[in-house]
Structure 1
Amino acid sequence: MLFLSAVLLAVTLAGCAGGPIEEESKDADEVTDAAHVHPKASAKLKSVAHRLLHTPAPLPDWDTFVFPGKRFAAFEPVVMLEREALRVRAQSSVSILRQRFEPQLSRTGQLRFSWLVDALPDNADLTQSALADSPVRVVLAFEGDRQRWPARVHRLSEMSRLFTGEELPYATLVYVWSVKDAPGSVVMNPRTDRIRKLVVDSGTAGLGQWREHVRDIRADFLLAFGEEPGPLRAVALMTDTDNTQSRLTAWYGSLTLEGGTD
C-alpha cells in the first residue's frame, strides 16, 4: 500500500444549490471506504466549489478523485470563522477534489489560496514514504516532454495508468503544510523526483488560523524543477492522513488560479 500511496500523489490530481451551512461538531464521521463506494461530488458541492475556487476554465466541474483501496473523507461546504469553506474531516484517509483543464492551460500566472487546519498528522515526514502525510495540499499537474524521462519513470507512469486509469503527469508541483520542513523548502517525493513539494506553512504556530498564500507559479516551478513549466493539466486540493493513521480537520477557503490558452 505504500507504493500505491506514492502513485496517488503522482496521478492527475484529479441548477443552484443552497447557501453554506454553519460549522458544526467534529463528532460526525464522514469517512467512507473507497474499496466499497465511489463517492462523487454532489450538485451542492460542485456549486460551492465553482463559487469558491476560481480558475480560467468554467468546465469541467471540480470533482472528487477516489484512489482505489483508500478511505475517503468528504469535502463538505461549511462556514468557518465567518468564511465560506470546504471542510475535510480526515481519519486515516485520502481526500482529493480536482479540476482537469481541457484544453490544458498554456499560460499560468499567480495562484492565491487559503487554508486552515486544527492539527497536524502524527509524526509525519514528507521525505519518508511511510509517513508522507500533510493536512492540506494544493496540487498542480503539468504536461511536458516525456521523452526526457528515464526508463524507471516510464514504468511508474504505466503502473499509475494500471492502478488509476491515468498516466503520471510530466511534473507535479505541490504546495504543502509540513510538520517540520521550513517554509520555502523543496521536498522531493521519496518515490519519484517528478513530484516536488514546496513548503508554504510549517509546524504548529499557524494552527486554528486562516493562512493566506499568493504564489507565482512559474517562479515556483523554476525553483522546484529548474526548468520552465509546460502546460497545466490539472489543479487539486488534497488532504491525506492515511500513512500516519491520523485524525484532523482541514478547511479550504477561496482559491484563484490565473492562466489561459494561446
Structure 2
Amino acid sequence: MGPDRQIGPGWRVVGFPKSHTDLPLTRYEAGTADGVPAVQVLTDASYGMLVHDQLPGMPGRLQWRWRLDQPLAGGRRTPDLSSKEGDDAALKVCVMFDHAIDRIPFWERTVLRVARAVSAEALPAATLCYVWDSAGPVSREGSNPYTRRVRYIVLQGRDAPLTRWITENRDVAADFARLFADELPDAARTSPEKLPKVRTVLIGADSDNTGGRSAGWVADVQWQR
C-alpha cells in the first residue's frame, strides 16, 4: 500500500527526479506513538518529502507535534546544516510559498527555472523549514547550502529530549518575513496580508548526504486561525 493511502488523503511522497538518482525514499508510515496517531519518519541513507497539497492559504500560525526516537547518526559524515556534505535533518516541517520569482536574484532565478524544467514538481521560489537538528545547536537560522530558495530555523537541537512529544506553534508570517526580508518589499515585512500565499506544507527527513539513519514522528500538523 502506498504511503498516501496509509497516511490519509492529500499526502504524497516526493523524491528526486528519477532521471537524476536512484536514491532510496525516506519512509513515511502511519502509526501510533504513546497513544498519539502520527506519521513515523524513517531515514536510511535516503531522501524524500511527504507533501500535503491541501494546506494552502495565507500564512498564519502553524502547529504540530513531533518527537525524535533515534538521532541522525551512523553515517560516513557528521550532520551539518551549513555544509553540502552534511546537509541532512532528522525531522523537518516546511512551508512552501508562492514567492514572486522576480524578487529573487537573477542567477538564482535562472537555476530555479532549470530545476523546474527537469522536475515533475512546481518547485517554489521560497521555502521555510523548521528543523530538528540532532547534531547542532537550537535557534540556529540560515540558508540551505545547496540553494537560498530554502531557509531554515532549528527549533530542536542536539540537547533536545528523545522519545518525548514536543508541541511547536510558529508564527509563519513573522518567520518568513524575517528570513526572506532581503527579497520582500518594505510593506510586506510588517503586513502579513502582503506576504506570498502558502502553496503547501510538507514533512521531511533526509540522510542522503551523511549516509546515516534516524527515526522520529510527526503529528497534528494544522493551521491555527
**TM-score of Structure 1 vs Structure 2, range by shorter chain:** 0.7 to 0.9
Equivalent residues of 1:100, 1:233 under 8 A apart? yes
For normalisation by structure 2, the TM-score amounts to: 0.83
Matches within 5 A, 1:1-262: 40-46=2-8, 61-68=10-17, 69=21, 70-101=23-54, 104-105=56-57, 107-122=58-73, 123-226=78-181, 227=184, 228=188, 229-258=195-224
* Letter matched to residue 71 of structure 1: P
When residues 240 and 130 of structure 1 are mapped into structure 2, their CA distance, relative to the original with a 3 A threshold, is: same
Distance 2:160 2:172 in 1: 25
Q: Provide runs of 4+ in structure 1 moved above 6 Å.
A: none
Per-residue deviation, 1:121:
2.1
Equivalent residues of 2:112, 2:125 under 8 A apart? no
Distance 1:180 1:244 in 2: 12
Equivalent residues of 2:13, 2:50 under 8 A apart? yes
Residue-by-residue CA offset, 1:67-109 (whole Å, 9 max, x unaligned): 232211321111111211111221111131112259x51x221
Residue-by-residue CA offset, 1:211-241 (whole Å, 9 max, x unaligned): 2111111111122112443111011000111
SS in structure 2 at match of 1:219? helix
* Letter matched to residue 45 of structure 1: I
For normalisation by structure 1, the TM-score amounts to: 0.72
* Letter matched to residue 95 of structure 1: G
Distance 1:121 1:159 in 2: 31
Q: Give the superposed CA RMSD.
A: 2.0
For structure 2, which runs of at least 5 residues remain unmatched after alignment?
189-194
Higher-RCO chain (CA-CA 8 Å, sequence separation at least 6): 2
Distance 1:111 1:241 in 2: 25
Identity %: 25
When residues 86 and 194 of structure 1 are mapped into structure 2, their CA distance, relative to the original with a 3 A threshold, is: same
* Letter matched to residue 24 of structure 2: R
SS in structure 2 at match of 1:129? coil
Distance 1:219 1:192 in 2: 21
Equivalent residues of 1:156, 1:168 under 8 A apart? no
Per-residue deviation, 1:162:
3.1
SS in structure 2 at match of 1:169? coil
Bigger mean CA offset, 234-243 vs 162-171: 162-171
How many residue pairs are counted as aligned between the two chains? 206
Name the structure 2 match of 1:15: none
SS in structure 1 at match of 2:85? helix
SS in structure 2 at match of 1:108? coil
